[in-house]
Structures are given as C-alpha cells and as structure tokens.
Amino acid sequence: MTALEQYERLESLGLWRATRSEQRREVLVSFGKATLIVSDMADRPLTHWSLPAVERVNPDAMPAVFRPGPDAGESLEIEDETMVDAIEAVRGSIARAEARPGRLRYWISATILAAVIGAGAIWGPGLLRDQALLATPDARRAELGARILGHMQAQTGAICRSRGGLVALDRMRARLLGTDAPGQTVVLPAPLPGPVLLPGQITVINRAVLVRYDDPAVVAGEILAAKANTTDPLRAVLNFAGLRATVHLMTTGDLPPGTLADYAASLIDAPQAVASEQALLQAFGRVGVPSAPYADLRTARGQDAALLLTQSPDAGTPPSPILTDSEWIQLQGICDA
C-alpha cells in the first residue's frame, strides 16, 4: 500500500486563503490523485494543489501552513496533526517515486506507451481521443476541471463567493439544471470572452455579465449556453493539447506539465465553441426562461442572435421568475464580499 492509498479517505478542516489580501475561510481538505483537494463546506472543490509542489511555510510549527508553490499567494492552515503528517508523508512518497522511477516501472511505462502509440497508428488520433475520454472517470474529470479553474483564478483573481450571492447562484443553477445536476457554477471577477464549461461540469461565468445586464435571464443564458455546447469539455482540452497529451493521459492518468495552465490561459483570451441558436432556444424552452434578453449579449459579442430575439419561448406568456428581486440583488453583489 502506498502512502497515498493509506490516506486517501482522510479528511480534515483547514483555513484557506485564496490570495494574500483575502480573509481566511474554513474548508475541507482531502487527497486526490497526486493532489491536495481544498473544498468548501458543501464539498465543492475550490482548488487542487499538486502534492509534489506543496511547500510547508513553517516547518516544525503548528498549526502547519502550506502553500501550492514558492510564489503562490494561496495558503492553507491545518491544525489536525494526523492530516499534517499525512501530507508530509504523501509528498515525500510521491517525490521519491518521481525521482527514482525504477527499472521495472520504466519498462512497463515504455510498453504501455508503445501499445498506445501503435493503437493510435491503427485507429487514428480521433479514435484514440475517444478511448481516452471513455477511460477517464468522472472523479478524474472533476479534478482536472478544478485544476484548470485554479489556473484561471491565478490570472483573474479568486472566484466570487459572498454568502448571499452563492445562495442565489445555487438557486438559479437548480432552477435551470435541476437540484441533482452534477458539478457547480462559479463567477470569476475578471471579464471572459464567453461562458466556460470545464471537465467535471464546472460552469464558469464572469462578473461583467452580472453588472452590465440588469436581467437574471442574461445570466441564465450564460449558464445554458455553456451546457448547450455539445463538445465534451475534456475533449476540448485534448483537442487543444494535441495527440501527445492524449497519449500521456492514457498512460499516466494525467496531462503533461503546463497543459492545464496553457488551456486556462486560452479560455481567458478566446471563447470556447459557441452554442448554436437552435440549441439555445431548446434549452431556454425547456426551463421556461425568455431568450430575448440573452440576444443582447450575443449581439454584443458578434454572435448570431436573431432567433433568440424573435422566437423567445416566453412570447405571449409571462415567464416564471428565475430569482426573486432580493436574490437577484444578492447575485449581482457576489463579488463584493
């Protein structure tokens, strides 16, 4: 049994700070595959830290303070000695394994790699990518998505999370996607070129939409647009990263260093594939939300919007409210905490 397997079910409380200027908040700390998972009290991942890169700021002092790297603004304070010892043990174990992979491991990896490359030559990159997607479990997708979100936050600032705003956002998400829908929806404080859907069904929208458009139907449109995109969000990552990353995912269960950071940067610079108007109309119709308000945002982005404006599902009938007025005000202030 490896050190990580020994502690994989261990959890503890901690105090996490997203940036040096932010207040600490109580979080849940647990282990992922070579990562330390920091989640909110509803067990929604906030960030994933690479365990080999984690540093302890105050060796031999308690409570222990960790950070995800030498220049990171994030910090995590843990009082639970069992969890502190586990983090140290797992970090050391992973570092030793990476430093001394061993001859057997080398030959096994080489054999697997040769088999995958051979399969790629027979199937072609498309089918190889399909196999990688089928082989990646939901938990792994969620971890990859959270890591991409972490890289996005490094450029935009931490996700917005005023208490009232989060309640309103969760209510809107449940109204649109259902109370049991997997994943989460988050708001980033900096502008984005469009909504983003990450692996693990993490929907990312930006504060500017809340501020510039005084209609919750526009925000609803962003969430629906992200979900209406038919491309598997992990497929989008692999399409961006190329065949080498696909092979790496199949042979190691992870992506090459730097891939997720580069993909996160691309999402901030350019929009993901834009959902079609027809797909959006169907999505708006299913949840009984008018599409005309969202047409204004699509037009501002230079995207097709005529059908959303002229064939809005609410034509002739008053739509049921997405949020109450007070909830909408709370959502608009989600970044004001």
In this prediction, residue 109 has a pLDDT band, given cuts at 50, 70 and 90, of: very low
Residue 273, pLDDT score: 82
Convert the pLDDT of each residue in 161-215 to its tens digit: 788 998 999 999 999 999 888 888 999 998 899 999 999 899 999 999 999 999 9
Which one, of 199, 204, 198, 224, lies nearest residue 289 by Cα?
224
Q: Distance from first CA to last CA of the chain, Å, rounded?
A: 44
Q: Do 129 and 235 meet the contact criterion of CB atoms below 8 Å apart?
A: yes
Convert the pLDDT of each residue in 121-168 to its tens digit: 445 567 888 888 998 888 888 888 888 888 888 788 878 878 899 899
What is the location of CATH 2.30.29.30 in the chain? Answer: 3-99
Least confident of 28-37, 242-251, 299-308: 28-37
Q: Do 216 and 322 meet the contact criterion of CB atoms below 8 Å apart?
A: yes
Residue 44, pLDDT score: 80
Convert the pLDDT of each residue in 61-79 to its tens digit: 999 999 887 767 789 999 9
Q: Do 298 and 305 meet the contact criterion of CB atoms below 8 Å apart?
A: yes
Amino acid at 165: G
Ranked by mean pLDDT, which of 16-25, 92-101, 153-162, 257-266 comes out on top? 257-266
- The HSE-up count of residue 302 (CA atoms within 13 Å, CB side) is 2
In the chain, what percentage of residues exceed pLDDT 70?
A: 85
3-99 has CATH 3.40.50.720 classification: no
The residue ranking higher by pLDDT, 41 or 205, is: 205
Which one, of 161, 179, 195, lies nearest residue 331 by Cα?
161
